[in-house]
Chains A and B, each alone.
Chain A
Amino acid sequence: MQVILNTMSAVFRLAELRKGQRAVVERVEGERSTACRLLELGLVAGTELRLTHVAPFGDPLRVELRGYGLLLRRKEAHSIWVKAHPAGEER
């Protein structure tokens, strides 16, 4: 799949977000049990999120969605596809 960063229609991985960047969940892939867990935690299509923190050495990440903060590792963030948020970045 061709990935073009930061155009409205482009789809990319959550792990590729920059700190502070906002995005909208497109779909969750990968091992089903984990994918279900991510969905149940609210990462369903259309959910807005924002990458708020990156831990030292780049892992894990903290994402804000549905009014709460979720910690996840890059491995899981790699299987979550998102598209750029219309409102773009926000500090």
Chain B
Amino acid sequence: MTGLSASPAPASGGASSQLPKVLLFGNPNVGKSSLFNLLSGGRAKISNYPGSTVQQNHAALALPSGKVELVDLPGTYSLRAHSIDESVAIRALYAWEGQPPAALLLVLDATTLRRGLYLATQLAESGLPLVVALNMMDEAESKGIAIDLEGLSRLLGVPVVPTVAKSGKGRVEVLKALEQNLAERKPVDRAEPLRFRAETEALLAPMEQALRGGDFDRGASARRLLAQWFLLSAGRDEGLGMPPALMQQLAPCLPAGSDLAAYENDLIESRYREVDRIVDACVRSRSLPQRRAAKLDALLTHPLLGVLIFIVTMLLMFEALFSWSEPLVSGIESLVEALQAGLVQWMPAGPLRDLLSEGVVAGVGNVLVFVPQIALLFLLLGFLDDSGYLARAAFLADRVMSSVGLHGKAFVALLSGFGCAVPAVLATRSLESRRDRLLTMLVLPLMSCSARLPVYILIISTVFPRQQRLFGLVSEGSLMMMGLYAFSILSTLGAAALLGRTLFRGPAPTFLLEMPPLRLPQFTHLLRQAGRRVLGFVREAGTIILALTIVIWALLAFPKSEAVERDFAARRQRLESQGATSEAQQALAREEASAQLAHSFGGRLGKALEPLVAPLGFDWRITLGVVGSFTAREVFVSTLGIVFGSETEDDEGASLRERLREAKRPNGEALMTPLVGVSLMVFFVLACQCMSTLAVVRRESGSWKWPLFMFAYMSVFAYGAALLVYQLGRWAGWA
């Protein structure tokens, strides 16, 4: 991929990767990104972690002793990976291939120390200099939690700095502690490492010995920590961070056939006993009366009212995404049209002008047109996530989602799919596990996006005239429309169930989700985050969308037939000599465009595909529209406009509708029967005719494998379903 040049990936050795690294660790929901923004002053860069699709923020910090690079790691609860994201954090800590980090910075939530100190005691044994930022001190205070900071620092053996990242408290102190740690290069000084039961110690000792002096040796306490990680991962964590060489090195130390469960329990329980000991010594809590937040929380998770609020919230979000962004979207569209018109006016006719106006400008427009929706989505999603509402929505929706093997949080992404699959694919970022993300991403283009709407409207108004009403209430057309949306929802859920039981077989990742307290998100943080993500989309998915627009334009524009050109030039001269009206001249120009389109690669493709799609009821002209719709589904309408030589742009497809109704097959039968219409719409519900979706799935999944698979399975479904509809309809005598 291009586009990352502005922020060199650490592995490739850009300027920033030479700086000593400070890794930012923390549980999810502890204000890690707030602290990152506070320390970096919001000047973060985004790139992928080396060798993964997980995105990272990193920023250069100027400390008195020199610059360091602060790297924001994915949130993790422990030093044992359960997901790709977590394995990234662990790989960064051990950094087998490269330079080990210079220091660690751990963010703890002062209100959840009884859980957060688990990771703290692990990192304190890593052998690397560690600073603890004790965040959310204000919340702890209002909850009646008093913390003995000196005692905590002494028991952990590392400096502890109180912070309130949201309001900017503690920045200077954290930087000072980091500076001191880096200057002294002082490894962590724990009085003594955590001891386990004798049986566990007997198992760990040979492993620590085996690691000594090897490739993975980073000191005594790090060896011990590695041995624990291996014991907790033995036999099942392949691919989640632990290098195969390390597993091979330690595997002989395990007695064959031993049941590891008891050791695992001991490793984790002993550490939590230590955590409880530290908390009991340093933290005093007195219970305060319920705060307002608790009452709001009770409302939001209420079985009845909570569900109502949930539905209203989702509707509002949907409305915001697709109505509020509308003025901007149409603004961008008119700008693109104006640019194209300008080009047509000021440049001499020819392939270069067409390339610029219909390839480049249209392509840039195809990218920019997504920006308002994506920016809004990232803002809204960021707000839902940071406020803690997303976890509550997942709590309410999980029962339904889990019945088809999806995660509760996937609900938001699927719903966004009604608007546009591109932001919806980006919305899957809120899912932690790769399996959940991929599964959601692969099925959500089946949700009927707004770009399908113009197609449905054109076809329905062509084959189901509005006058016919059932029971005098609803028109056939609106019933058809509802049917299409219902069909799309069922297909999405069905595909999720199917893929979940086949391709993504095996134990579904467990649904274990922290429900953080309700908090007011920081607006500047949301804006910055949305800005960075929109830029990432434009840079990476945008380049693909632009390139594909040009490719498809070329397919439909070339080769030009000289015979057609000569023929029409002659006819034009004849018309002019007869003093014909400009209307007649425009009609001739449209006819020429239609003839040239039929001659192009795309036109020939349409004809070549005709035997294949004939059993679906499509002829080559419809097929050509389908080929054109690959740039974006609504292009189907304008491509058909060119094919049928109608004036689509001026009168919103009215005349196209007429021409479609009049269109005949070679044998004289009408082309667009209601049955063909339904077959075509069923095809559109299921087919993946959207290169922007494919481009964004390529970006989010990290390889072309998944978009290609998506394209293949959706095409097969679309073909099969349309075939079934058309053939059954014919058999039943409905035409």
Contact = CB atoms under 8 A, between A and B. Distances in A.
B513 A71 contact: yes
Contacts of A33: 82, 236
Contacts of B513: 70-72
A31 B111 CA distance: 31
Q: Which of A39, A67, A72 has the most chain B CB atoms closer than 10 A to its own CB? A: A67
A73 interface: yes
A56 B303 contact: yes
Interface of B: 77-78, 80, 82, 111-115, 118, 232, 236, 260-261, 264-265, 268-269, 272, 301, 303, 307, 391, 394-396, 398-399, 402, 408, 507, 510-517
A66 to B, nearest CB: 4
A62 B114 contact: no
Contact of B395 (A34, A55, A58, A68): A55
Contacts of A56: 303, 307, 396, 399
A17 interface: no
B260 A60 contact: no
Contact of B512 (A58, A67, A76): A76
A71 B236 contact: no
A69 B514 contact: yes
A59 B402 contact: yes
Interface in A32-55: 32-42, 44-45, 47, 53-55
Contacts of B265: 27, 39, 44
Contacts of A67: 111-115
B264 A70 contact: no
Given A57-B399, A69-B516, A73-B510, 8 more contacts: A27-B265, A34-B510, A38-B512, A39-B264, A53-B395, A67-B112, A72-B512, A75-B510
**What are the nearest 3 A-B pairs in CB distance?**
A66-B114, A69-B515, A39-B268
24 contacts: A27-B265, A32-B260, A32-B261, A32-B264, A33-B82, A36-B232, A36-B264, A39-B264, A42-B114, A55-B303, A55-B395, A55-B398, A60-B511, A67-B111, A67-B112, A67-B115, A68-B112, A69-B517, A71-B408, A71-B511, A71-B512, A71-B514, A72-B512, A73-B510
A42 B112 CA distance: 11
B396 A68 contact: no
A46 to B, nearest CB: 8
A66 B283 CA distance: 13
B507 A66 contact: no
Contact of B398 (A35, A38, A47, A60): A60
B183 to A, nearest CB: 34
A69 B300 CA distance: 15
A55 B402 CA distance: 13
Given A40-B80, A44-B268, A71 B396 contact: no
Contacts of B398: 55, 59-60, 71, 73
A31 B508 CA distance: 12
A38 B261 CA distance: 13
Nearest to A45: B269
Contacts of A73: 398, 402, 510-511
Nearest to B232: A36
A22 B78 CA distance: 26
Contact of B80 (A36, A38, A58, A75): A36
Nearest to B397: A55
Interface of A: 27, 31-42, 44-45, 47, 53-60, 62, 66-73, 75-76
Contacts of B515: 62, 68-71
Q: Which of B394, B395, B396 has the most chain A CB atoms closer than 10 A to its own CB? A: B395
Contacts of A66: 112, 114-115
Contacts of A39: 264-265, 268-269, 272
Contacts of A38: 512
A36 B395 contact: no
Contacts of A55: 301, 303, 395-396, 398-399
Q: Which of A31, A37, A70 has the most chain B CB atoms closer than 10 A to its own CB? A: A37
A76 B115 CA distance: 19
B514 A68 contact: yes
Contacts of B511: 60, 71-73, 76
Nearest to B29: A68
Nearest to B270: A44
Nearest to A58: B399
Q: Which of B114, B264, B303, B515 has the most chain A CB atoms closer than 10 A to its own CB? A: B515
A57 to B, nearest CB: 4
Contacts of A70: 512-515
A41 B271 CA distance: 12
Q: Which of A31, A40, A55, A71 has the most chain B CB atoms closer than 10 A to its own CB? A: A40
A57 B306 CA distance: 13
A44 B269 contact: yes
Nearest to A68: B112
B301 A62 contact: yes
Contacts of A34: 510
A67 B307 CA distance: 26
A40 B268 contact: yes
A66 B272 CA distance: 11
B112 A40 contact: no
A68 B116 CA distance: 10
B313 to A, nearest CB: 16
B235 to A, nearest CB: 9
Contact of A59 (B399, B507, B512): B399
B623 to A, nearest CB: 46
A31 B507 contact: yes
B510 A76 contact: yes
Nearest to A76: B510
Contacts of B113: 67
Contacts of A60: 395, 398-399, 408, 511
Contact of B268 (A36, A69, A75): A36
A54 B269 CA distance: 28
Given A60-B395, A73-B398, A44 B512 contact: no
Contacts of B236: 32-33
A53 B268 contact: no
A37 B240 CA distance: 14
Contacts of B394: 71
Contacts of A58: 399
A26 to B, nearest CB: 12
Nearest to A53: B301
A36 B511 CA distance: 14
A72 B232 CA distance: 22
A59 B82 CA distance: 23
Contacts of A62: 301, 395, 515
A69 B391 CA distance: 10
A72 B113 CA distance: 21
A69 to B, nearest CB: 4
B512 A41 contact: yes
A31 to B, nearest CB: 7
Nearest to B119: A40
A35 B236 CA distance: 13
